[in-house]
Structure 1
Amino acid sequence: MHEVTLIEGVMNTVRASALEHDIVRITRVKLVIGKLSMALPDSLQFAFQVLGEQDDLFRGAQLEIEEQEIQCRCSDCQQEFVVDKDYRFVCNFCNGVNVEIIRGRELYIDHYEGDKN
């Protein structure tokens, strides 16, 4: 389950920033994850909850996840389209297969909120 490792990394990054800004308690963390990141939102939530309860800085914090669809641009007709749930990387407009992925690989901390000392 690589979600535990991902959440540990998120928590370490937020912790470092919180220390720099005199934040003593994290109340909310927002992640943006693309479908191609293959990170499972439910597993991320579970890992955050379990690890957060073991850490005074994160105890009681909420994890908000924004999922990004996979979006492509067709190199043949220049149209943009969202890839369907079957992961068919074929243009919806011209059936071209020469496509560029322009969104869906995201995995980043959008922001966090917390209380200062």
Structure 2
Amino acid sequence: MHEMSLTEGVVRILEEQAASHGFTKVKTVWLEIGELSTVVPESMEFCFGAVARGNPLTAETRLEIIRIPGTAWCMDCSKTVAVTSRIDLCPDCGGAKLAVTGGEEMRIKELEVE
């Protein structure tokens, strides 16, 4: 489960930002996870609870996950289309020449801190 190491990385980033900006508690963290990122949001939630526990900065932090839909550019019909998988065909023309343009990301979007 790579979500555990990803969650540990998120908590490290929060600790670095706390040191840089002088806050002592993260109340809420909004995390964007793309539909094509191979990250399972439910696993991130579970891992965050385990990793954040006992850490004074994150012990009471609420994790809010924002799911980012997958998008791709179809080289056959020159349109941006919604995709749910890297092997999808274009929903408009049925073409297979798709270049993913969104939905692969995982990033911290916003923090609410004290």
**Residue 26 of structure 1, CA deviation:** 0.8
In structure 2, the residue matched to 1:21 is 21
2:64 maps to 1:64: yes
What pairs with 1:88-99 in structure 2 (closer than 5 Å)?
A: 88-99=87-98
Query: Aligned with 1:112: secondary structure?
Result: strand
CA distance in 2, matches of 1:18, 1:36: 30
- Deviating runs (4+, > 4 A) in structure 1? none
Gaps of 5+ in 1: none
Deviation at 1:96, TM superposition (A): 1.1
TM-score, normalised to structure 1, is: 0.90
1:103 corresponds to which letter in structure 2? Answer: G
For 2:68 and 2:96, locate their aligned partners in 1 and report how far apart those are by CA, in whole Å: 21
In the other structure, the counterpart of 1:105 is: 104
Q: TM-score, normalising length from structure 2?
A: 0.93
Letter paired with 1:51? V
Structure 2 match to 1:39: 39
Identical columns (%): 30
Coordinate RMSD, CA, aligned: 1.3
Where structure 2 has 5 or more consecutive residues not aligned to the other structure, the ranges are: none
Alignment deviations for residues 69-110 of structure 1 (CA, whole Å, 9 cap, x no partner): 2111111111121114x6542111111111110111011111
SS in 2 for 1:24: coil
> C-alpha separation between the residues in 1 aligned to 2:5 and 2:87?
29
Amino acid at match of 1:102: T
